[in-house]
Amino acid sequence: MLGGTTRDRQAERRAATQLEILDAAWSMTREVGLAEITLRGVAERVGMRAPSLYTHFGSKHAIYDAMFGQAWADCLARFESIRDQIPDAGREALRFLARSFFDFAASDLPRHQLMNLRTIPGFTPSAENYAPAVATLDLAREIFARHGLTAQEDLDLFTALVGGLVDSQHANDPGGDRWGRLLNRAIDMLADTFGLP
């Protein structure tokens, strides 16, 4: 008998199929809207029958849950990849974080809606798929703490300000930069409130 690990090819195929299903769900969402995806429509896009989809995702909310986790995992990966680029100065660090999140969120309306708005009645993400969102906020909290900003209200105000600008961008100038151009000005007002030089 040869040594080494044994690949679980069935698990690999299952994971690949689940990713294909999620890609199809995102594609459909971008065409018809987040609330309008159907299990039948997603199944058709991946060449399977709707009942077969249930072997991978037990419900439409289970697909939303996986999409939510995937979206926040992508956001976390983005922030971790630029972590070393965050400026040392507090005001500039806040600007950098705000711009990074704004650009990520403004680039994809359905993803932003699923991540940050409660647009799906009855949907609550699982603890497992909510974990990347918590980790992303923990990373922001760590950056804030470096500059003496340790109150939860400081982070809440930052996320509300940036999120509000993202929402306004999507609602009033999709694909444009009207609210994106206001980001530094808004962060400067916030930094003044925080007393950051």
Domain boundaries, the chain: 1-58, 61-194
d(Cα 188, Cα 190) in Å, to the nearest integer?
5
- Contact of 93 with 153, CB cutoff 8 Å: no
CA 172 centroid distance within chain: 21
Assign domain 61-194 one CATH number from 1.10.357, 1.20.58, 1.10.10, 2.60.40. Answer: 1.10.357
d(Cα 175, Cα 44) in Å, to the nearest integer?
29
Written as six digits, the tokens of 90 are 């507090």
> Rounded to two decimals, what is the model's pTM?
0.90
Phi and psi, residue 195, nearest 5°:
75, 25
CB atoms within 10 A of CB 42: 25
- Topology of domain 1-58 in CATH is Arc Repressor Mutant, subunit A (1.10.10)
88: Cβ contacts below 8 Å, ≥ 6 apart: none
Check residue 156 and give its pLDDT: 96
Written as six digits, the tokens of 141 are 């909290």
Nearest by Cα to 187 from 134, 149, 139, 136:
149
Check residue 93 and give its pLDDT: 96
Check residue 143 and give its pLDDT: 94
pLDDT in tens, the chain (197 residues): 455 667 777 878 888 889 999 999 999 999 999 989 989 999 999 999 888 888 899 899 999 999 999 999 999 999 999 999 999 999 999 999 999 999 999 999 999 999 999 999 999 999 999 999 999 999 999 999 999 999 999 999 999 999 999 999 999 999 999 999 999 999 999 999 999 98
